[in-house]
Amino acid sequence: FCESITDSVKRDICYYNLALEAEDASLCGKITNNWEKGECCLKVAQKTKDSGLCEKITTNLKSDECYFSIAIKTKNISLCEKIIGNTKKEECYGGVAKETRDISLCEKITNSFGKDLCYADVAINTKDISLCEKIKIIERKDRCYFSVALVTEDDSLCEKITNRDKKNSCYTEVSQKK
């Protein structure tokens, strides 16, 4: 059906839509525009959670996005290792840590902001205030305490917050949730 279309742009769009609908990446191979071909493989891979399709993507940015999204969806940390860009790789560790509630994955993150964010995400998901203690920067630690207090609806946790205004705000917001 698509091959009968003479306009190459419209033909590429046809194959793209057909590939997504049929969840068939082989149809992406018929697309002439390389960017569209990569986008097609990415979308089919995300839909089918088939990380093997990420290897068919020729641009690093798109293949990284492919591995990243499937790693998060499938909670598969080994897919993060295939990511070339370091920032995206560390985001992947954090995302899988959040989904699996595995604090040890946060240790793989070298960037201090990313690591603190990872600890906070796992603390919130597990409702475990003690994980906030691992956060080095006071403001981020306070934010973690605040978030865990909110999700647990436990205003006694607000006491751990060092910033007075943030502490008062914590008590107010938690009491409003109850």
Whether 90 maps to a domain, the answer reads no
As a whole number of angstroms, the distance between CA 125 and CA 114 comes to 16
What are the Cα distances from residue 138, in Å, to 104, 116, 162, 166?
Answer: 21, 11, 8, 12
Whether 81 maps to a domain, the answer reads no
In this structure, what DSSP letter does residue 129 have? G
Supply the pTM of this predicted model.
0.83
Residue 178: per-residue pLDDT: 72
**Could you report the per-residue pLDDT of 82-139, keeping only the tens digit for each?**
999 999 999 999 999 999 999 999 999 999 999 999 999 999 999 999 999 999 999 9
Domain count, the chain: 1
Whether 74 maps to a domain, the answer reads no
Structure tokens at 28: 């992406």
- Strand, coil or helix: 59: coil
Whether 71 maps to a domain, the answer reads no
Whether 167 maps to a domain, the answer reads yes
Mean per-residue pLDDT for 18-37?
A: 94
Q: Which domain holds residue 123?
A: 108-178
Instruction: Answer positive or negative: Cα dihedral of 47, 49, 55, 58.
Output: positive
Whether 165 maps to a domain, the answer reads yes
Which among 107, 168, 163, 165 is positioned nearest to 140, based on CA atoms? 163
| Percent of the chain with pLDDT strictly greater than 70 | 100
Whether 80 maps to a domain, the answer reads no
**Could you report the per-residue pLDDT of 61-81, keeping only the tens digit for each?**
899 999 999 999 999 999 999
Whether 161 maps to a domain, the answer reads yes
Q: Which residues contact 110 (CB under 8 A, 6 or more apart)?
A: 90
